[in-house]
Chains A and B, each alone.
Chain A
Amino acid sequence: MRRHLLSGADLTREDALLVLDTAAELRALADRPIKKLPTLRGRTVVNLFFEDSTRTRISFEAAAKRLSADVINFSAKGSSVSKGESLKDTALTLEAMGADAVVIRHSASGAPHRLATSGWVRSCVINAGDGTHEHPTQALLDAFTMRRHLGDLDGRRVTIVGDVLHSRVARSNALLLSTLGADVTLVAPPTLLPVGVEAWPVHTSYDLDTELDKSDVVMMLRVQRERMNAAFFPSAREYSRRYGLDERRFARLPDHAIVMHPGPMNRGMEISANVADSTRSVIVEQVTNGVAVRMAVLYLLLSGPDTRLDDEPAGQEVEK
């Protein structure tokens, strides 16, 4: 595996399966009275969150603590993007504290990449969501959840519905799931599909109804209500009518199909309350699985020779 996890594309099929298999063993620990493992004793994991995300931060924190790592939560919210130099200064602070891994959430696409390649820190960098770019551990936990219900993902049909344009979850899932052999279809109004999506390893559709009966998984993405004001779609009601997963559409899914959502949900907008709470909705389980997957990622990135000891900062790397 690479030293950082920045994108779903950083994982080969072998890497991804290693993470998922490791997570499966670690998932079993959740049922033990003693959930803690001594594996990362003495290691320091910093949660560097420039953007509020209580659920992701707590998930990483629980994962790190169950592996006995020391966890430092560094909430840098308020350091606005306009004060961009703060990323470097924050990074230098973390380096001085001896962070072994930095879990970073940032509103700017590419900020984790910047942290990993700038030479400011020697830590492993884990992307916990950057701007409208990627969220690879979310994709891993989604894939993990799918595997628990459907087995091997090879040839499975996954339909991802909603605001693909602004969704880091969709980007990471499209990359990871196709690496794992799944057949991914992105469904969205044309305004919410990125330019150049033809080059992605996925199918696209503007019509949810034609995709339902062949889907093994339907993943609904959160739709921000403010997109409405930017003319991406006329109204919440119209969006919900055309792209929402309501009971009528839910009834058309194959019996084995599962419903997913990365949260937080807009009940009544992209997903109806009854569908969200149905037995085939695995939304709550996604949260549980998140801890196991993040434990696996931390273990796999942080075990092995201590890179801090033999690595000098790489310095500014400019690829030509």
Chain B
Amino acid sequence: MTDYLLTGARPLGGEPTDLLLRDGRIAEPADAGKKVVRVDADGLVALPGLVDLHTHLREPGREDAETVLTGSRAAAAGGFTAVHAMANTDPVADTAGVVEQVWHLGQMAGYVDVRPVGAVTAGLGGSILAELGAMADSAAGVRVFSDDGKCVSDAVLMRRALEYVKAFDGVVAQHAQEPRLTEDAQMNEGTVSGVLGMRGWPAVAEEAIIARDVLLAAHVGSRLHVCHVSTAGSVELIRWAKSKGWEVTAEVTPHHLLLTDDLVATYDPIYKVNPPLRTAADVEALRAALADGTIDCVATDHAPHPTEDKECEWAAAAMGMLGLETALSVVQHTMVDAGLLDWAGVADRMSVRPARIGRVGDHGRGLGAGAPANLVLVDPTASRTIDPADSASLSRNTPYTGMTLPGAVVATFLRGRPTVLDGKLC
């Protein structure tokens, strides 16, 4: 296996140093032999490989939108070394068979570690538990369970799920959306929805579920993870739950850190997403919460959709946007360049903490000698104008088209082997 010597890299944005990657681990640079491949990392920031807790790879079922292979490539291009593949595929990832298939496809693709997420309820139906233990015990070793796209709204079922996964150190990742309050909802409920005549999606529909779930988690002593937190009120609830010492974690998407609901006035469904884009005040609160750690991590909710599902009326369009290849740039723009988070903080929120929540052993372990050689080199001085045609994803539904964002992934290494080099996929 080839050794790589990354020269002049700045670990977590610190002082420049050399990093040696040998046998899948980070080694002392002094041990570099003559046959080493040198990578000029002068001025580049080195971060542990990013870990996404929330990715839709669409396979099996919607291979026209994304496959495990194309999604893995997009992930590597975005600096990720591990992704959690959401369960809302067709068939639903609610059995050991399906999660093992997805896990296996990830292994074959080889760009990132694909960690399947198991469904909480059979067929995402919300009525009976899926075989959570079987998925945990499978080769895929599922630890994160979610009905993402749908909320586990039945309080009893949610309680049982929270309790049951304790047996194998699992966590339920809840898509917090009270169904009755969001029937046919199209966008954030607020001034803009009133003017546009769109059915609103009130913040309380998210917050009411989070409030209930943190209380349930506390009651049964379980871990709870809250998917894609999008409102200032949700942040307050999570802050309160954490202050009680309860094991509650939360994620925010890059788009909720940057985009607001006034974009919906274009009626362009590229901005249609679940949970919906919220107000500037919510964006402000989410950034602050990510900075102070109330929100633990950034998760992309990368949701590829074929062109025809977005080239239509708003009401008919699919919800979701691409995120893997732009996540780090959006975080740099909204957090690092805004002075809210340093690169060590980025490593914590995009690698260390998500790996810990998902129990992904080999990731998020830092850049010290002996750690698994999962890392990404970022050029923070670069800037790029987003063109969907450049995407490694099968889909093109990025909301950032035409925007100029800072930062570029120069290289990504998975267990010491490059998946991206010179900014190009290997």
Contacts and interface: CB of A to CB of B under 8 A. Distances in A.
Asked if chains A and B come from one complex, the reply is: yes
A114 B314 CA distance: 8
Interface size class of A (residues with CB under 8 A): 20 to 34
A34 interface: no
B103 to A, nearest CB: 33
A84 B316 contact: yes
A130 B197 contact: yes
B316 A200 contact: no
Contacts of B191: 195-196, 199
Interface stretch (A131-139, A220-228, A278-286, A287-295): A131-139
Nearest to B318: A84
A168 B312 CA distance: 21
Given A85-B311, A114-B313, A109 B198 contact: yes
Interface in A63-87: 81-85, 87
Contacts of A195: 189-191, 193-194, 200, 202
Interface in A274-320: 318-320
B268 interface: yes
A117 interface: yes
Given A108-B315, A114-B313, A318 B198 contact: no
Interface in B182-219: 186, 189-200, 202
A242 interface: no
Q: Which one of A83, A108, A118, A130 has the greatest number of beta carbons of chain B within 10 Å?
A: A108
Interface in A146-186: 168, 171
B312 A85 contact: yes
Interface string B308-336: 11011111110000000000000000000
Interface string A24-50: 000000000000000000000000000
Interface string B237-274: 00000000000000000000000000100111010000
Contact of A131 (B195, B315, B401): B315
Contact of B315 (A109, A196, A197): A109
A81 B186 CA distance: 13
B197 A84 contact: no
Contact of A113 (B202, B267, B312): B267
Nearest to B259: A320
B233 to A, nearest CB: 15
Per DSSP, chain B at the interface is loop
A87 B312 contact: yes
Q: Which one of B189, B192, B315 has the greatest number of beta carbons of chain A within 10 Å?
A: B315
B244 to A, nearest CB: 31
Contact of B197 (A81, A82, A114, A171): A171
Contacts of B197: 109-110, 130-134, 168, 171
A194 B194 contact: yes
Contacts of B314: 108-111, 114
A84 B197 CA distance: 18
Given A84-B313, A109-B196, A197-B194, A318 B308 contact: no
Contacts of A81: 313, 315-316
Contact of B312 (A84, A109, A197): A84
Nearest to B314: A110
Nearest to A198: B191
Nearest to A115: B313
Contacts of A168: 197
A4 interface: no
A84 B305 CA distance: 14
A88 B198 CA distance: 21
Contact of A84 (B195, B266, B317): B317
Contacts of B190: 195-196
A106 interface: yes
B402 interface: yes
Given A109-B186, A320-B403, 17 more contacts: A83-B316, A84-B313, A84-B316, A85-B316, A87-B312, A106-B313, A107-B315, A108-B313, A108-B315, A109-B196, A109-B267, A111-B313, A194-B193, A196-B194, A196-B195, A200-B195, A318-B401
13 contacts: A108-B314, A109-B186, A110-B198, A110-B313, A111-B267, A114-B268, A168-B197, A194-B193, A194-B194, A196-B191, A196-B195, A318-B268, A319-B263
